[in-house]
Structure 1
Amino acid sequence: MLPISLSRPGWPRPAAAVLTLLLGYAVPAGAQSGDPSFRVVNNTLKPINEVYVSPVSSSGWGHDRLGADVVPPGGRQLIRLPAGTCLYDIRIVYQQGGAEERRNIDTCGLGDLILGGGAAAPRNAPQGNPSFNLVNRGRQAIAAFYASPASAQNQGPERLGEGNLVQPGQSVPIRLPYGECRYNLRWVWQNGKAQERRNVNACGTASQAVQ
């Protein structure tokens, strides 16, 4: 009995093997991507009314990803996206007016999109509850306090509120959204002098005493 060949007549086996190998690797980049979903973290003082997320190849913004939901100051919202691509453009619309955009964002490598800090936390960054009590052990009142994620590009919103002081010996809660743990802290005394602590693990402590 003659041996049976499974290759097409006239098609050399090495060529068929090479083609099979090439086809195995010729998978669209989007199909090899991870999970593009991410969280929106609102570190601003304004509620977020709308979030638009569209692939960079798209000519429009598509539908509002929040629907009827609103992300309040200090809140967070998971934005679920289908697998298939990683590069997205993002548009945020605030309740009191105003909008901001982030272009060409690799959301597959993104854990939190932090608004009010201007940066994105890596997906593998430690997560937890970074809220703590601010304790004034100094001799003057604290006139302003800032806490921004270490990944942020600026100090973010003032956390005490206009006109509020933390007197010597007093403590006040600093409420921060669940997520990134590493924070940069900055406080301003009543005499105008400012001090900082950088890259603090806010999830690992219940209070931050300053003096």
Structure 2
Amino acid sequence: MASVHPPLSPRPARPGFLLLALVLLPAASAWAQSGDPSFRVVNNSLKVVNEVYASPVSAPGWGHDRLGADVVPPGGRQLIRLPGGDCLYDVRVVYQQGGAEERRGLDACGLADLVLGGGGAAARNAPQGNPSFNLVNRGERAIGEVYAFPVSAQGWGPERLGEGNLVQPGQSVPVQLPRGECLYNLRWVWLGGKVEERRNLNACGATNVVVR
């Protein structure tokens, strides 16, 4: 399959955060239950996905294109099969019309669908239920603030940890959310001021949300 972009360069050690819509579906998924890191790419963007790379975070490079001769058209989906053993993966998606997106440190064993594009279609089809989850800090610094708000709402809403509370490295804390909508936007602030976000999270299917 012809590629329309320059050759991949080695992955930097500490990349910047790039937005990639992420939906964690219920653990009823066979591979999520079995510890299999395989997942589906769901293309809700307006671009054709030309290549998908997925490699364990411990690997030095991206490896081979997991789509092979296939592409994922707008509105399409494709299963990305990965070998068992590792759960933490880095993923890179390359679009046929140019441009790429990356997501680092995915807990792929708990991931059913990796959704690309805006949240409109996902929001319309989102289930209702209990969106509460455990936030797991696998980073090197403490988290000082956490915000979680439905994608249908405006703004980020209240800070969820409470004044003076921290999520230390290696610690897990419950984030209690009201029953109802499942699709949430998540924002967390590391000590030192760095802010990261995860959009279109299906919180009703995410028992643990891992950040690093």
- What band does the TM-score fall into relative to the shorter chain? 0.3 to 0.5
TM-score (norm 2): 0.43
TM-score (norm 1): 0.43
Could you say which structure has the larger radius of gyration? Answer: 1
